[in-house]
Amino acid sequence: MNCDWNILSVCLVKAGSSTSTIFGFSEFLSALALLVIVYTITDVRYKFRIATAPFNLPKASFTIIAIIGIGTLMSEIWVAEKWATVAWNLSQALWQSIFALTFLITVLVWLWFAFIKPPKYGKSNYKRFYKVTYQYVMQAKESEIRMLSDELVNHIPDLVKYANTVNGNDVKSQNCKMSRKAYELIFLLSNKNFCDTLAAYSPHTAIAFFNALESEKTIHANCFNIITSLISTSLLNNKNSLIYHENEHYRSGLLGHNKALSRAMFGNYHIISQVRGNTVLDVDYVSSSKWDNEQISKYCELVLISFRGFVESGYWYCHSSELFRALSTIQGFAAQLHKTDNTRDMYSQVEFKNFDTVVGFANSLTQIIAEQKTPPDCIKLKNSDKLNNQSFYDHIAALYFELIHFSCYISEPMMTCWFIQHNTVWGKLFDNFEKDSKAKKIILHKVRRRLFNSIKEFEKYPNYQSARILGFCINIFSIVHKGHGLALRKAVWSWVDNNYSKLHKQNPKLAKAALMDGIEYDEEKNAIVKVGRGSMGKKPTRTYWKLKD
């Protein structure tokens, strides 16, 4: 080869151009412009994936593209000006091929992480993952939060696994920074805005989250309590969420048959008991106070799922603070029944519907225990005042008692009072035409004992609660002569025979509070009078129960 220049024994020749351009500077600019446009219109989901790649993909891509652009431009200038080059240098076509291949590989790497195999939370990207997620949550844009709630479904198992290795009481002493970031990410996602969006658009992420908790077997960290409670509250607040479509299978098909979300969240009592602080059963008080009957019914249904898991998993002999709080919440839904007092059309009253739902819930608790092949034995038939000594029989009996107490606030009109106290409460909880199970016998025994003990409190100090309970028993037992409560009926009427006339003399207001509409006290005859409704133009009937002098 003839040398154009010979410098220091190095043969230099004039750079020559190829016959055809493979990847010139103009092609590079066209490809770069197309790449910029594609990235600009790309969905935020794929930008999130690119930003959380195992390495800083945007920065690396910028550096590589800059080198390719400069190299392509310099190669064309070098050839155009026929500058000196070594004789053994690669041809222009080979250089352009190398630049084109490098550019193609860069684009393929983007496509790989954006579409083919999205990155997952791990050692290589935990810092970037936390930073990008934090930005999206802080900006609180609906589209970005919606994307994030859906995209995290692939990261949830790893986040839960790493976060669970951190002892929440001693976070700073942990050696693994990745686990600490996962722990902080769970707290970051414990955000009402995020949980509301997740409940509305990404229930599969919630399923993945609770399945990941279940796979951990034991919960060590205390970062899961807030997010579990928020997800539960958000699902119940949104009546269009998946949880409302998981009804009986004949109403909602496969979703109602599988109940994937309900069972993942509420079916495993072992996980519920290990989440420290709030759980899925601890809904927000402000939100629950605004619920309608459909939302209350759904919450009762979910608590029953947890209670079934509690019984079937052998936790019966342990005190369940989670279920105890849930029962208190549900009991509060029935506490507004007094607003239907002196109302004839009770069926249209929201308070009555809520009360009726809670009565059905209380009855279902008893049925779940009765369905067990070996129902748990009662520790003590006698009610205990100490919470730690109480079994769940005592808690259910206490719920029965409070429902009876709430119904006592309905004193008139007579038919409304009778329907609520007898048909709704006594009829469903005591005389529901079902065969008495061992569990039901134990619970009703405890309820009857509570009722009579409340009446006997008159002997210590007069109070209106005891007066209302006495009024309930007089109203119910004035007609019911057999069936459930026969022993209680005898005890109540024995107490009334011996004490009511004395109570009337000492405290007339309390004595009157113990008589519902349609029941009177005849002081002259010293008798309780039941006034019946007259029919066909006849006068009301009057039935007397003579008291002892």
Cis preceding-peptide flag for 413 (omega within 30 of 0): yes
Residue 7: what are its φ and ψ, rounded to 5°?
Answer: -120, 120
Q: Determine the 3-state secondary structure of 529 from DSSP.
A: strand
* SS3 state of residue 461: coil
State the CB neighbour count (10 A cutoff) for residue 289. 9
- Answer yes or no: are the C-beta atoms of 348 and 356 closer than 8 Å: no
Q: Pairing relation of β-strands 542-546 and 5-7? A: unpaired
How many CA atoms does the CB half-sphere of 507 hold within 13 Å? 14
Query: What is the C-alpha separation between 254 and 90, in angstroms, rounded?
Result: 65
**Helical packing angle, 438-456 and 486-506, nearest 10°:** 10
Q: Name the pTM for this structure.
A: 0.86
User: How many CB atoms within 10 Å of residue 523?
Assistant: 11
C-beta separation of 372 from 379 below 8 A = no
pLDDT at 173: 43
Q: How many residues does the chain have?
A: 549
Q: Is 482 helix (H, G, I), strand (E, B) or coil?
A: coil
Show the tokens assigned to 125: 């990207």
Cβ atoms of 54 and 122 within 8 Å: the answer is yes
Q: Give CA angle at 360 (518, 480), nearest 5°.
A: 35
Indicate the SS3 state at residue 356: helix
The Cα–Cα gap between 268 and 279 comes to 12
Give the whole-angstrom CA distance, residue 497 versus residue 78. 119
CB 234 within 8 A of CB 192: yes
What residue has token string 């000594």?
A: 389
pLDDT at 352 (0 to 100): 95
H or E segment to which residue 177 belongs: helix 177-189
CB under 8 A, 24+ apart: contacts of 45-48: 45/147, 45/150, 45/151, 46/114, 46/115, 48/132, 48/136, 48/147, 48/148, 48/151
pLDDT (tens place) for every residue of the chain, 549 residues total: 567 666 666 676 666 665 566 777 788 888 888 888 877 777 889 999 999 999 999 899 899 999 988 888 888 787 776 776 665 666 667 878 888 899 999 999 999 999 999 999 999 999 999 999 999 999 989 999 999 999 999 999 999 999 998 865 555 544 588 999 999 999 999 999 999 999 999 999 999 999 999 998 889 888 999 999 999 999 999 999 999 999 876 677 778 778 999 999 999 999 999 998 899 999 999 999 999 999 999 999 999 999 999 998 888 878 889 999 999 999 999 999 998 888 878 888 999 999 999 999 999 999 999 988 877 776 555 655 555 567 889 999 999 999 999 999 998 888 899 999 999 999 899 876 667 788 898 999 999 999 999 999 988 888 999 999 999 999 988 754 555 567 888 899 899 999 999 899 989 999 999 999 889 998 888 899 888 776 666 777 888 888 886
**In this structure, which amino acid lies at residue 520?**
E
Nearest alpha-carbon partner for 130 in 167, 178, 174, 176: 178
- Convert 283-301 into a string of H (helix), E (strand) and C (coil): CCHHHHCCCCHHHHHHHHH
In whole angstroms, what is the distance from residue 293 CA to residue 354 CA? Answer: 6
Q: What is the largest CA-CA distance in the chain?
A: 142
Cβ contacts of 213 within 8 Å, gap of 6 or more: 160, 219, 224, 271, 275
436-461 pLDDT tens trace: 788 898 999 999 999 999 999 988 88
State how far the Cα of 128 lies from the Cα of 509, in Å rounded to an integer.
72
What pLDDT shows up at residue 447? 94
> Exposed, middle or buried, 488 (CB in 10 Å: 0-12/13-18/19+)?
buried
Classify the C-alpha dihedral 520-524-526-530 as positive or negative: negative
